[in-house]
Amino acid sequence: MSRRQKRPILRLNPLIRVLGRSQIEIKVRPIINGLSMPKTRLLLTFKITKMEFRNFIGIDISKDTFDFALIKDNQVASCVSDAVTNDSAGLVKLEEFLKKQGLNMEETLFCMEHTGIYCRLLSHYLTERKYHVWLEMPVQILRSLGIQRGKNDHLDAKRIAEYACLKKDKAVLWQPPREIVIQINDLLTLRDRLIASRKSLKHPIQEFKEAGFKDTAKLIESRCINTLKAIDKEIQQIEKELDNLINKDSNLKRLYKLSTSVPGIGKITAFTLLYFTNEFKLYSNAKQMACYCGVAPFENTSGTSVKGKPRVSHFANKRLKKLLHMVAMSTISSNKELSNYYARKVGEGKNKMLVINAIRNKVLHRLCAVIRRGTPYQLEYQLA
């Protein structure tokens, strides 16, 4: 196609038909250069079903047990509750309870707080059976309930059920990560623990050296040397296992290569982003991801008296925020473009942390653009 030749203008002509109270049908026919395509060609039909939940099960999970409370047919006043063990036997008892209540599972919503490993067994069991699961942040549930007095597991389960009933229109159904992605996170967590253990052993040795007690430092180091070598070896082995997991999965390998093509993003940062974004499917744009990572600034003003500076929120994924800070510091020292940007903004009188946060946002925007486009980052990109 020559440069003078105009590209065809494509838009979609949706035809919407209501099938029922909770289902609509959308037919999409392309319109090219103002002309609709024939009815027999290029006609796509979608049926969208809106979830209308009537039953809500709030679950409060602890290490050994989980309490659950059922609100049936939107009747908040009448609530049925029980408690079972947090193991396979408890799941059997929960299933018996559901059958006894005669619930329509298409109209039932399970809501629970995200408690890490403690909720993994139950949440995966429910999603495997095609139940509707909503994993919510504990602070979101706590702040939505207003002033509350008293607390126990039974009461918390009831409050979670009430929250699900009141906020059902805002429910976000949880999609579990694939097993290989969960394995990556488990290995990353183990690696972080080993690094923390290594640091706790090395730090006292360094302190004794700086204080002038070299003999004591040598004595402690001689007792720790074998442990430190073993930790280093385990960390290297974990990184090899992470590489093997990435290489044997085509989609993870593709996303990993795209992520690491962005200057500053290394192996561990890419692995961590793959897990927390569920292979970059949880967030549709860079602003959402920046908010989740805690690098998006928010306004802080009220009337004429409060004129605070925009600040980032402490409600964030601190693990990703820490990694992005290290990415920003790395790019400042190794990337010429961002190094010049940092020096220029600091020279203009900008606060250093403000400039570093801007670089964190730049890196995230580049990453999201690369993932969305599906092509590696280009250092000297030019428009055709």
Confidence of residue 26 (pLDDT cuts 50, 70, 90): low
DSSP secondary structure letter of residue 5: S
> Beta 55-61 vs 65-71: how paired, if at all?
antiparallel
> Among 194-208, 231-245, 280-294, which stretch is predicted with the lowest mean pLDDT?
280-294
Residue range 141-198, pLDDT digits in tens: 888 888 888 889 999 999 999 999 999 988 989 989 999 999 999 999 999 999 999 9
The residues spanned by each domain of the chain are: 10-49, 55-170, 179-246, 267-373
Q: How far apart are CA 142 and CA 146, in angstroms?
A: 7
**What would the two tokens of residue 264 be?**
């500053």
- The confidence score (pLDDT) of residue 315 equals 87
pLDDT of 39 reads 47
Give the pair of three-digit tokens for residue 333: 């020292």
Question: Looking at domain 55-170, what is its CATH homologous superfamily?
Answer: Ribonuclease H-like superfamily/Ribonuclease H (3.30.420.10)
The tokens describing 3, both together, are 């440069």
Closest to 123 measured CA to CA, from 162, 46, 66 = 66
**pLDDT tens digit sequence for 95-105:** 999 999 999 99
CA torsion, ordered 367, 348, 344, 376, to nearest 10 deg = 10
pLDDT in tens, 225-261: 999 999 999 999 999 999 999 999 999 999 999 999 9
338 DSSP assignment? H
Mean pLDDT, the chain, integer: 86
Task: Assign 78 to helix, strand or coil.
Answer: coil
pLDDT band at 309 (very low <50, low <70, confident <90, very high): confident
Picking from 34-43, 287-296, 309-318, 360-369, which range would have the lowest pLDDT averaged per residue? 34-43
pLDDT reported for residue 16: 58
**pTM across the whole model:** 0.80
Q: What's the confidence (pLDDT) of residue 362?
A: 94
Nearest CA among 350, 353, 299 for reference residue 329? 353
What percent of the chain is modeled with pLDDT above 70?
85
Nearest to 184 by CA among 239, 240, 242: 242
Which amino acid is present at 51? M
| Residue 126 pLDDT | 95
* Higher pLDDT pick, 315 / 58: 58
Task: State yes or no: pLDDT of 30 exceeds 60.
Answer: no
Q: How confident is the model at residue 382 (pLDDT cuts 50, 70, 90)?
A: very low
pLDDT at 42: 45
- Mean pLDDT to the nearest integer, 44-49: 51
Q: What is the pLDDT of residue 36?
A: 46
- Print burial letters for 223-249: b (CB count within 10 Å at least 16), e (below 16): ebeeeeeebeeeeeeebeebeebbeeb
**Does residue 137 or residue 241 have the better pLDDT?**
241
Contacts of 305 (CB under 8 A, 6+ apart): none
CA 66 to chain centre: 24
CA distances from 68 to 60, 141, 204, 359 (A): 6, 15, 47, 45
Give the lowest-confidence range in 65-74, 146-155, 207-216, 347-356: 146-155
Q: What DSSP string describes 223-286?
A: HHHHHHHHHHHHHHHHHHHHHHHHHT-HHHHHHHHHHHTSTT--HHHHHHHHHHTTTTTS-SSH
Query: Which residue, among 159, 158, 137, 136, has the nearest Cα to 147 in the 3D structure?
Result: 159
